[in-house]
Amino acid sequence: MHEDYAFKVIQPLKDWMTLRGRIPKNEIMKVNILIFGQLTDITGAGIVTLENIADTDNLVATLHGNYPGLINSKYLIAVDKKVISENTPLFDNCTIALLPPFSGG
């Protein structure tokens, strides 16, 4: 059921993005994820590239599946240098940042 739902939601978005010229046909959409602070201890890397991630909800689900330690971690998500607070569509070669809590001084 979950795979069927994902296809129904993600495939039409991908088709729409292809028609809008965001994804060339037969190309793989890639997103680059910059990971900061203690979150790199969980992922083991400062940069991760994922393929065919349609939106930030799908991104979070994929990251939690690949790195279960992120599930209980607090962090903000920025898409192309803008912190987001709701599900946001992603496009080919966009840059996402996972930002752990920080304090000023």
pLDDT tens digits along 4-39: 444 444 555 555 455 454 555 556 789 999 999 999
Got the DSSP string for 35-96? E-TTHHHHHS-SEEEEES--BHHHHHHHHHHH-GGGTT---EEEETTEEESS--B--TT-EE
C-alpha 45/C-alpha 58 separation (Å) is: 20
- In this prediction the pTM is 0.72
Which three-class secondary structure state does DSSP give residue 77? strand
